[in-house]
Structure 1
Amino acid sequence: MAGVLGVAVIPVPAAQAAPVSAAAPVDVVAAVQRLKAQGSPVKVFQHTSVDWPHDPRGEDMPRGYCRGGGTGDPWMTGTARLGRGGVVAADMKRSMRFGKCTLQFLREDAAAGDRRAGDLVKLDSAIHRVRSVGGVLYGAGPAYGGKSWMKIGKRSGGAALYGDQIIDVFDLGTLKALVASATHNKPGSAVHDADDRAIKKTWSYRGTTTFGKLFEMSKPFRTMLGGRLDPRFRGITVLWGIATDLTGKPIVVQADWRPREGHPADAVSIATRFSWDVKASITAPRTNRTGRDPYGDDVIDLYRS
């Protein structure tokens, strides 16, 4: 994986290694503060399930014609590094493949001038890479203008990681607000980390919020939306969940929403998994080329106005 120099167990000081009772509350906020202070690296695996609105053009296709291809679900893998400001750097690979008819309809829309459809066609054609480091976002792939690295523009350190996932668990303002409103705060069931290893003893936080409330509490979410939330989307209900190990380190972050008909997506479900026993070096790629910022490379772009 790009950006991963090796895998090694991070030594844990004895004071932090004491076992935590499964019945004792786990403090995810304190754990994230500690991880940020340590500048911890983290491995990331993310899958986003998107139910795209029904396209009536599919009804005119011969029976069985639309079978084959992908689902249009984005997948991301990579590494990130934390700092006192949250995610300070990220290096990710992203892929998505559409079904046969969906891709055909996107090509038709792109030919008619739909720029977002054109970008989705490009995203389907190759694995894309994004890297955010030093306050700059870099991209490589057809949607960004070419195969080699190009500078997209000034962005936050977490820009390469967020855009499908809307819950930034490493932003303390967001995390504290969600934990304070959690309706479920107790031992959880087994989950799998970014390496698909089972973490059997976990702590679980769950609750609900809305796009409107998240926009108010979360600076990263406001940044993802370009500083403005369309009033039509304020009431979208988001079911969220955070699963940690018994030291409080986040292992899985989930967000799900099913808005009413007429919205850009019928349903979205995102699961981001983390592994903490890694070493990672994320540096700015050497490039003097300037790329383009696509109209639709992230799920959140569906809700930008």
Structure 2
Amino acid sequence: MMMNALVLQSDFGLEDGAVSAMKGVAHNVSKVIPIFDNTHDIPPFDIWAGSYRLWQTVNYWPAGTVFVSVVDPGVGSDRKSVVVKTKANQYIVTPDNGTLTHIAENIGIEAIREIDEKVNRLPTSGASHTFHGRDIYAYTGARLAAGVITFTEVGQELAVDNIVHLPYFSPKVVEQSIHGTIDILDVRFGNLWTNISRELFLSLDIQYGDKIEVKILHESRKVYSNIIAFERSFAAIHVGEPLLYVNSLDNMAIAINQGSFAKAYNIGTGTSWQIMIRKVE
């Protein structure tokens, strides 16, 4: 029987045994199932970050891969537990709480099914309703990855249009200025990753070395305003200087060479953090 990879992400951290318990459940389904971690350092309860980290990673895994994403502040509520099949023929097992926003916007969802907990719930989980990551998502994800169940055996089909979406702002050009959002941080280094694509940015006829005016607003309050250079890499500027560059997802990003831009200016992420960039003539 062909085994597909099972890739786990959560906001659980690694300080206790929660992630290990999820892997144990998966190994009880199949001792040879290949299990990998995406990240377990999603900020607690940050559904937006969970949504982004899925999109950041999914494209680099083969068709058939099963992702389990558990950022679930509403565990035990009436939010649905689902499995979606993406248009790239991968599967995501998750609460339907907004975690699928970036996948829906950037990859596309072909079908969604609600997990039937009468069939797809760890038999030894008892009456617990606070660890669905272990009892429902890891168990269902492992069964799907190992071929114990098919996608149609997950549960009843739901309407794709009814998937829960977080507010999402698409970048746009307004009078030679591009308006976008700070989608996420390159956390370890404090760089700002925007949702502005390289293609959209280059539509302003910009070359490496050009000076770019950058404004960052949080809920209409100006947080940052400066003119910085668009450069190919950090080697083009001095330590401590800011730059605009193309990140690993082919989107525009802002950094301080060997410093944290986010900490320097206390900048967060999400649609309430707007960025405007334009070429300085």
TM over 0.5: no
Please, what TM-score do these two structures have when normalized by structure 2?
A: 0.25
Task: With a CA cutoff of 8 Å and minimum separation of 6, indicate the structure with the bigger relative contact order.
Answer: 1
Which has the greater radius of gyration?
A: 2
Please, what TM-score do these two structures have when normalized by structure 1?
A: 0.24
